[in-house]
Chain A
Amino acid sequence: MVTSVTTLGRSGLSDWLIQRVTAIIIAAYTIFMVGYLVANPDLTYVQWVQLNQNNWMRIFTLFTALSIAAHAWIGLWSVLTDYITVRLMGPKAVPLRIVLELGMIVLILAYVVWAIDILWGI
Chain B
Amino acid sequence: MLKVSIYRYNPESDSAPHMQDYEIDTGGKDLMVLDVLEMLKAEDPTLAYRRSCREGVCGSDGMNISGKNGLACITPLSECVKNNRLVIRPLPGLPVVRDLVVDMGQFYAQYEKVQPYLINHNPEPAIERLQSPEEREKLDGLYECILCACCSTACPSFWWNPDKFIGPAGLLQAYRFLADSRDTATEQRLSDLDDPFSVFRCHGIQNCVAVCPKGLNPTRAIGHIRHMLLRSGT
Contacts and interface: CB of A to CB of B under 8 A. Distances in A.
A17 interface: yes
Interface string B172-212: 00000000000000000001111111111100000000000
Contacts, number: 60
A13 B233 CA distance: 8
Interface string B28-68: 00000000000000000000000000000000000000000
B122 interface: no
A2 B164 contact: yes
A100 B190 CA distance: 31
A39 interface: no
Contacts of A3: 195
A2 B199 CA distance: 10
Q: Which range holds the interface residue count of chain B?
A: 20 to 34
A99 to B, nearest CB: 19
DSSP class of B's interface residues: helix, strand, loop or mixed?
loop
DSSP class of A's interface residues: helix, strand, loop or mixed?
helix
6 contacts: A3-B195, A13-B194, A13-B226, A13-B229, A82-B156, A87-B162
Given A2-B196, A87-B161, 15 more contacts: A1-B191, A1-B194, A7-B196, A11-B195, A12-B193, A12-B196, A12-B197, A12-B200, A13-B226, A13-B229, A17-B230, A81-B197, A87-B160, A87-B163, A88-B160
